Structures are given as structure tokens and as C-alpha cells.
Amino acid sequence: MISSSSSIMMTKKTRWLVCTLLVLAPVAGAQAPAPEAPYIQSELIFPPDSLPGYPSCHGSTLVELPSGELLAAWYAGSTEGAEDTAELGARLPAGATSWSKPTVLADTPHKPDGNPVLHLDRKGRVWLFYVTIEGLSCEPAWDRCRLKCRISTDAGRTFGQERILREELGWMDRNKPIYLTNGELLLPLYDERDWSSHMFISPDDGETWGKTQSIAAPGGNIQPTVVELGDGSLLAFMRTGSPRRRLWKSTSGDNGRTWTPPSEIDLPNPNSACDMVRLRNGHLVLVINNTPEGRTPLTVALSTDEGRTWNHRRNLETANGEFSYPAVVQTRDGLIHVTYTYLRKSIKHAAFDEAWIESK
């Protein structure tokens, strides 16, 4: 027989259970919070024809600074390879959508400069790698380039004296360097004279450099972009010189010292630069001209299996004209940023998330 006190206790427990169930039960007609919409925003870094003396521009590069600012650079002048061509740059404060007025970062008097590459080292210094054509001709003579760098200790506002990284002519940079898991710094390079790719590796944050094995392919390959995969191997994609118009691929299992013979992959390349970044979640983002001819469209591709497949693709540009030479980075807030040549008249910047690439 249950006592009256037990009945009271059971009644209290029943009331508590009912109240708890009422709190936990969904309200009729209520909906779960909607997922955040895919994010993208883009803008020109400067209006076309707004920089007197620099009507033509190309070959941008991008880096995030410790302050959260973005610093972009590109080369500009009267035309590609002209002696008035210099390295220009602009800044985007964190959270802003308007860039600063472009300024000159480096200018070799009476010689064409090109292919700037920005890099933030572990000491907080900003490096500007670039090339200068030695000697003039009626056509851009990139096979007579000298590879240089300058270093900034004030977040890219001013740069120090030039340093020649390679006296031998013909070596060029194009895509950003990466730190490897072993602490070394790898800078992708190529030789304009024979259209082969190779890497510079530094064990001491750029104080000294060593050249790796060359990567050669039928028809040539240049402008490698490199990422380190989860198992420590390196993956490189390269611009093609082959009439088959496919990206070249090569891998390294010894921190970039040696590379597998390059093979063509099932991604088109119209003999134009591409760039790639490994996101913090391990996914890869590749920006390419997704066509065998011309330099449009400009497409962002996402791989969730370390580059074996690229099942998600979204176009940044589809209009007629040239939209090319992308640079891609991921910032600390997780967003993906791309800068690229916009009709050779400006540099455009786009920021987006993975959801945008995956959305239809």
C-alpha cells in the first residue's frame, strides 16, 4: 500500500516530468533556424583608367597582414613589358569594401618589372618577390628576367633595398610561397627559357635558398602552384604549353626535392596561370580559366578529396574578355579571397565562403 507521502512525491515527479517535456517539445509551427546563405562579395580595387601612367595592369598577388588588412599587388604600365612598368599595391582594411588608393611598391628605372608575389614571413615581415626584364625589345622578353625581392618591416607600406635572388636570367616567380610542415619555405618558380618548373626552398625564412629538381613536360609547363597534403606530400599544378590544353600535375614525397614526371589531368588550361590554396579543413580551392581557349570564364573549383576530384565549381566571371591570373588565399576568419586581372584595365577582388562554391 502506497502511503500518502509517497503519493505526494510521485505527484511532484509527474509534474516535473510534464513541465520538462513541455519545455523540450517543439512549438507547433516553429521552424529550425535557417542556415546562413552562401556569401560572396566583390569589387574592383580601382576604376579602369583611373591611374595616370598605368592604363594596363596584370598579374596580381594577395596576402593577409597581422592586422587583418589585405595587401594586394600587381604590375602596371603603358603595356606589358614596357619600360615604365612598375609594381603597384593597395590595401583593404578588415571589414571594409573599399581599397586604398594604389601606390608604387617597387619600380626599376627604365626597366620593366613584373610578376609580383607577396609573402608574410614568421617574423612579421612582408616580402615582395618580383622580376625585372634586363634589356628592352619590341616584345616582352621574359626570358631575360632577373629574380629579385624586397622586404618590408612596416606591413608593406615601404620596402627596403632590392636583393637579387638569382643572377641567371630567365627565372621567374608567379604564385605564393608556402611553409611546409618541416618549417621550410617553398617558393614555386619556373624557367621562361625552356618552360620548365622548379622550386626554391629555404630552411631559414629566405636568408638562403636552394633549387630543386626541374619539372619538364612535352610542350612545356610553367607557373606552378603548390599545396601540402595531409600525408605531407606536395601537389603541384602547372600551366600548360601543350596543344592538348590540360593542366599538368606533379607530386613530391620528399618536401619538394624531387618530383614525379608531370601528367595531364582532366581540367582544362588555355595556357594561362592558375592558383590553389589548401583550406584549414583540408579542402583544396583552385582558381582556373575553365576552358581550353581564351581567358574566360574564370572559375573556382573545390576538392574535398585532396585534388582527386573537383565536383564543385562556380564561375566568378563569364563575360567576354580577359579575366585571368588569379591569386587565392584563405584569411583567418575562414573566408576565401581571390584577386585577378579584370580586362587588363583593373584588378578585381572577390571574397566568398565554401557554401558559395557548393551552392547551385
- Count the residues in the chain: 360
Answer whether 88's CB lies under 8 Å from 76's CB.
Answer: yes
Answer whether 132's CB lies under 8 Å from 84's CB.
Answer: no
**For residues 192-213, average pLDDT:** 97
Spell out a b/e string for 100-115, using b for 16 or more CB atoms within 10 Å of the CB, else e. bebeebbebeebbbbb
Give 36's pLDDT tier (boundaries 50, 70, 90).
confident
**For residues 45-68, average pLDDT:** 97
Residue 348's pLDDT is what? 98
Q: Catalogue the E-assigned strands of 79-179.
A: 86-92, 103-106, 113-120, 126-133, 145-152, 163-166, 171-173, 178-179
What does DSSP assign to residue 154?
Answer: S
Rounded to 5°, the CA angle 54-56-60 comes to: 100
Residue 360's pLDDT is what? 75
What does DSSP assign to residue 138?
Answer: S
Residue 280's pLDDT is what? 98
Residue type, 32: A
State yes or no: pLDDT of 43 exceeds 60: yes
Distance, in Å, from the CA atom of 71 to the CA atom of 154, rounded to the nearest integer, reads 12
Closest residue by Cα to residue 274 from 351, 326, 226, 329: 326
Residue 79 Cα to chain centre, angstroms: 24
Considering the domain 36-358, what is its CATH architecture?
6 Propeller (2.120)
**For residues 258-273, average pLDDT:** 97
pTM: 0.90
H helix or E strand, kind and range, residue 7:
helix 4-24
pLDDT tens figures, 317-349: 999 999 999 999 999 999 999 999 999 999 999
State yes or no: pLDDT of 70 exceeds 50: yes
Q: Which three cell numbers stand for residue 76?
A: 602596371
Answer whether 332's CB lies under 8 Å from 280's CB.
Answer: no
Residue type, 14: T
